[in-house]
Each structure stands twice: as C-alpha cells, then as structure tokens.
Amino acid sequence: MTHRENIMWAVFVGVAYVLFTLATLRDATGETEVVDTQQAELTGDWTASAQASGSWGTNYLHDGNADKGTKTATYRAPEPGAWDVAVWYPAAANRAANVPVVVNGRTNRVDQRANGSRWLPVGVGDSATIGTEGTVGYVIADAVRFSRPDTLPPTTNRVGRVSLAWTFYTYQYPATQQQATVYWGLESRIYQHNSGPLAFGRDTYIVSNLDARSTWYFAVTAMPSNGVETGYSEELVWDNLQPPVAWITGWEVE
C-alpha cells in the first residue's frame, strides 16, 4: 500500500475488498436484445416525446417532473438469466441527477444530465426498473439493452463491488455534521452514478453491480451542516487490468 503524506481526506480500496474477476475481460459477443419504450411495463402517467435528439428509436418517455415516486418503467429480458444490462437516454441539463435504476434487486443511481445517447452499464440481471422516487428534474425512460456472452466459464463472475471508507476533514465541522456522497462512472470526472447524500457521519459505502470488464472512476464529496456541498475529492481509478490505487487525497472545507 502506498499513501501520500499530510492527508486531509482519504479513500481506501484494499485488494481484499475488490471482488472483480480479472479473467473475464472480454466483449459480450453473444445474444443481444434491445427493449424500447413500447415494450416497457409502466406504472403512473408517463409522457411520450421526441423533442430531444439522441433517443433510441422514434421517441422516449419522461415523467413530466411531477408525481415523484409514483412512476416506474420496467424492462425485461427475453428470458430469465444473467444478462448484461445497459440503459440509453437522451441527456439534458433539466434531467434528474440521481435516477434510480433497479437491476436484480440492486439500485444504481444514474445522472441523466450527462453521458446520454450511449449504452450505460447498470448491472447484471434479467430486468431493469427505472423509477422516479427521490429525484429532482425530469426522469427519462428510453431503451434498455440486454446482452449475454456466447460462452463464459461456469465460475465466471463479471459483477464486481468495491468497499470504500474515508475520514472527514474536521477543521470547521465535526464528522457528525457532515454528509458524504459517493460518485462513480466510466469516464474521468464524468460520473453517471451517485449514492445520494448518506447519513450524517457515515464514512463507508459499498458500490455494487459494477461491470468487471470496465475501468471505473470514484470520487466523494462532503456536505457540512451548512448545506454547501464541497467539490469532488481527487479521483480513485479502478482499472480491470491493474490493482487499485490505495489512497487518494481530497477536499478541504472552506
């Protein structure tokens, strides 16, 4: 393990906590099925639109930024099993930053303001449910892709998880008066997912349902009791070809 001196804030990812399977670095070349809005199972009142460019097919659905928590869109694979699941949506500034997408019982948070019009991996399973609970901004339900490799060893596990822990910088605010938010994504400083604000003083978080064939980027912010969120910490990078960096430094509360 390596570390930097004079650390004010740190995130640790120990090798023992990283459950990615490196032997599975390969493309999904098998069966693929794209389920569009017409096949989605809907609850609540969704609105079809073609106003924004970059949708999959002729249109997409949005929640009207209203009646939060009452609307879901569920997409299902052609048959039960372990499918790589990815979502497609047209991004815009008025979208929600923490859209819940439930795959195989696990919830990912997707930032629909960025990285649209591309396939964004959200886990492994045979269904995906896009919800609106707890969101601020328009939630988009467009297309979901289910892909299954043609051959994989029976013991292969391509779903990874990372356990994160950190200490707050407490110059002005004690840890019990700070809330962390964990961010992660597939591009540096462009985070498609976030945990939402955690409980005051909480200093651990497990990120699950990660595609073990990809490179993932992590950062954390703090929100003291004054309600002003800090900038991102320095970035931790997990590359499926290399062990993770052990320590990174981060924010200082003004």
Give the pLDDT confidence of 60-104 residue by residue, as tens digits.
Answer: 999 999 999 999 999 999 888 888 888 999 999 999 999 999 998
Residues of the chain with CATH 2.60.40.10: 11-23+157-238
Kindly tell me the sign of the dihedral angle through the C-alpha atoms of 116, 118, 119, 120: negative
Give residue 13's pLDDT band: very low, low, confident or very high (50, 70, 90): very low
Q: What is the pTM of this model?
A: 0.54
**CATH number of 11-23+157-238, picked from 2.60.40.10, 1.10.4030.10, 2.60.120.10, 1.10.3210.10:** 2.60.40.10
> On the CB side of 45, how many CA atoms lie within 13 Å of its CA?
5
- Of 17-31, 56-70, 225-239, minimum mean pLDDT range: 17-31
DSSP 3-state of 37 = helix
| Mean of pLDDT values over 14-30 | 26
Joined tokens for residue 225: 């009791």
Residues 94 and 137 sit within 8 Å (Cβ to Cβ): yes
Q: How far apart are the first and last CA of the chain?
A: 30
- Residue 84 Cα to chain centre, angstroms: 14
The beta-strand segments (E) located in the chain are 11-12, 31-35, 41-43, 47-49, 60-62, 72-76, 83-88, 99-103, 106-110, 120-125, 127-131, 140-141, 143-148, 159-166, 178-185, 193-194, 204-211, 216-224, 236-238
Residues of the chain with CATH 2.60.120.260: 31-148
Is pLDDT larger for residue 2 or for residue 29? 29
CATH code given to domain 31-148: 2.60.120.260
User: Which one, of 74, 89, 81, 73, lies nearest residue 31 by Cα?
Assistant: 81
The pLDDT assigned to 65 comes to: 97
The pLDDT assigned to 251 comes to: 28
Give residue 26's pLDDT band: very low, low, confident or very high (50, 70, 90): very low
Rounded to whole angstroms, the Cα distance separating 54 from 56 reads 7
Is pLDDT larger for residue 168 or for residue 85? 85
Q: Is the confidence at residue 228, as pLDDT, over 60?
A: yes
Residue with tokens 């498609």: 192
